[in-house]
Amino acid sequence: DAKTTQPTSMDCAEGRAANLPCNHSTISGNEYVYWYRQIHSQGPQYIIHGLKNNETNEMASLIITEDRKSSTLILPHATLRDTAVYYCIVRVGSNTGKLIFGQGTTLQVKP
């Protein structure tokens, strides 16, 4: 089963880009990488997902390495409201739909 590894915590200055790494070295060829974040104790919020190509939406960009063993979530201009726990997850087990969250990275955006 694919498993993700993320740093426990990171700091970022307000207005700067936040780059959050994720390792998923055992990912299978048809497994997607999802990024979610959780602010305080709210339910996780979807950010972005990708398979092979880099992706960008209004919230963030996702860079996936060519071998797909790691990815980076980029928040281009971090604000104080981006302070949250960021989860990188991959779909676990073919055809089961089981979704396992890791510990995530606590991003602290500082003024």
* Six token digits for residue 12: 């970022």
Q: Which residue among 41, 53, 66, 111 contacts other proteins (CB under 8 A)?
A: 41
Q: Which residue among 16, 32, 39, 54 contacts other proteins (CB under 8 A)?
A: 32
- Return the half-sphere exposure (C-beta side, CA atoms, 13 A cut-off) of residue 2: 30
For position 87 contacting other proteins by CB under 8 A, the verdict is: yes
x/- mask, other proteins, residues 47-66, rule CB under 8 A, reads --xxx---------------
For position 11 contacting other proteins by CB under 8 A, the verdict is: no
* Six token digits for residue 27: 């990912």
For position 91 contacting other proteins by CB under 8 A, the verdict is: yes
- Return the half-sphere exposure (C-beta side, CA atoms, 13 A cut-off) of residue 78: 22
Residues contacting residue 86 through CB under 8 Å, at least 6 positions apart: 6, 20, 35, 36, 37, 47, 73, 104, 105, 106, 107
Chain residues that interact with other proteins, rule: CB under 8 A? 30, 32, 34, 36, 41-46, 49-51, 85, 87, 91, 96-104
